[in-house]
Amino acid sequence: MRIPLLCLALAAAFPFSAFAQADAGVPAADGGAPSAEDEALLKEIEAASAPAAKPGGSSATPEPPKADGAAAPAPKGAGGPFSNIYNPAISLNGLFLGSFTSQDAPAEDQAHTGVAIQEVELQLLANVDPFLSANVILSVPGGQGVEVEEGYLSLTAQPLGIAFRGGKIKLPFGRENAQHTHALPFVDRSLVGQAVFGQEGLSEVGVEGSYLLPLPWYLLLTASVTNGDNEVAFHSPDDRDLAGFAALKSVVDLTDDATLELGASYALGRDEDRLTSQVAGGHLVVKWKPAAASTTHSAVLTLEGLYSRVPRSGATPGDETDTYGAYASAQWQLERQWYIGARVEFVRPAAVVPDMSRRESAILVFAPTEFSAVRLQGSATQPGGGAPPFYEAFLQVNFTLGAHPAHSY
């Protein structure tokens, strides 16, 4: 059932329309006899397409040798047999992190006191050919082991205005999920983001289509079919169990200097016990950046909430299967190179005895240029289950080398 659907999707997506446009001047083949004019044209095309009678035929006349018999010089700019000209845009992001925690024995997924490589990320981006472009992002979390964080192909053509990409994709589920670690507004991900999708977020192998609706404002519809492999939200043992994702994102100008973004996302798949699991989310972002002071002043207010229901066998029907939470954050640019921010959040994870965790964070950022930043963050966490509060502090150095593409708005 899925193979015919896949073929249909590929047929719709592959850019044969580009060739159809190139033939716009030729009458469409409607089953009728070709005219004499068409036949003559076809003969010309066949003759031009036939293999040359001998190397260097009329259609591929070589450069005439010089009178002295020397070969024609190589074209200007050619780099010989080995050249960097077609190398992709390459960039590297490095994150070094110094951490302090007041906990004597933090859990494995919590901050530990010390200095470490938080992550190194290598991105390669280029057109493959006239039909495809590729974006591959390799990450080295903690400085150990290489992972494919993202790696996808995008179709150059957009049949019916639909953009397609396929591969491993950080799905645009809400606001935070698609952001890479170096682009997060804080040193760490939100509690609810980690509780619903895990440390790496919702990054799945699949095919995605997105369509910008023809409306006076920005309304983007995104849908994808993925392998449903996320270890927290899905992770069915049967590879045939796929997951679906859909999102709507709308952005409007409140003024020339301010925008409002609203988004809703939903994903459906099967969990480790092949039971249906669902995740829903919503977000709101208000951005302000005055055109007259666009390099020195800006503000961002973000609200995001996630709700997941992952039944798993053995769980009794009820709230124990549900994880939910939200965060609110604000960032303010004080000067060209200085930012401050604050975040409050809570999460109520699914557990046998679920209890709410809360955290408050504040951050100070010095960014000499858009290619480097030093970030100092402090957090106070009140864990659930009656555990005592603990405190964390982070000093992060963040740098970018090379041709890194712009981050999404």
Residues near other proteins (CB under 8 A) are: 156-158, 161-163, 210-212, 214-218, 220, 249, 251-253, 256, 259, 261, 287, 289, 291-296, 336-337, 368-371, 405-406, 408-409
The nearest distance, CB 11 to other proteins, in angstroms, is: 18
The nearest distance, CB 163 to other proteins, in angstroms, is: 6
Nearer to other proteins, 33 or 291 (CB): 291
Nearer to other proteins, 297 or 358 (CB): 297
- CA proximity to 378, closest of 390, 364, 389, 393: 393
Using the structure block, give the residue that is written with the tokens 């290489």.
Answer: 146
Nearer to other proteins, 157 or 362 (CB): 157
The nearest distance, CB 135 to other proteins, in angstroms, is: 10
Nearer to other proteins, 134 or 395 (CB): 134
Question: Mind giving me the DSSP string for 18-32?
Answer: HHHHHTTTSPP--SS
Nearer to other proteins, 146 or 212 (CB): 212
Nearer to other proteins, 141 or 166 (CB): 166
The nearest distance, CB 219 to other proteins, in angstroms, is: 9
Cα–Cα distances in angstroms (integers) from residue 247 to residues 60, 101, 231, 233, 409, in the given order? 52, 37, 21, 17, 17
Question: Mind giving me the DSSP string for 234-284?
Answer: ---SSTT--EEEEEEEEEEESSSSEEEEEEEEEEEEE-TTS-EEEEEEEEE
Bridge partners, residue 220, by sequence: 212, 249
From the DSSP assignment, how many helices (H) and strands (E) are in the chain? 4, 16
Give the whole-angstrom CA distance, residue 354 versus residue 375.
33
- Three-state secondary structure call for residue 155: strand
Give the whole-angstrom CA distance, residue 256 versus residue 294.
12
- Three-state secondary structure call for residue 76: coil
Bridge partners, residue 207, by sequence: 166, 225
The nearest distance, CB 74 to other proteins, in angstroms, is: 19
The nearest distance, CB 336 to other proteins, in angstroms, is: 6
Nearer to other proteins, 83 or 294 (CB): 294
The nearest distance, CB 240 to other proteins, in angstroms, is: 32
Count of CA atoms in the C-beta half-sphere (13 A) of 94: 9
Give the whole-angstrom CA distance, residue 58 versus residue 1.
51
The nearest distance, CB 257 to other proteins, in angstroms, is: 10
Give the whole-angstrom CA distance, residue 193 versus residue 199.
8
Question: Mind giving me the DSSP string for 92-137?
Answer: EEEEEEEEEES-SS--TTS--SEEEEEEEEEEEEEE-SSSEEEEEE
Nearer to other proteins, 266 or 288 (CB): 288
- Three-state secondary structure call for residue 291: helix
Give the whole-angstrom CA distance, residue 331 versus residue 302.
9
Using the structure block, give the residue that is written with the tokens 């992952």.
Answer: 310
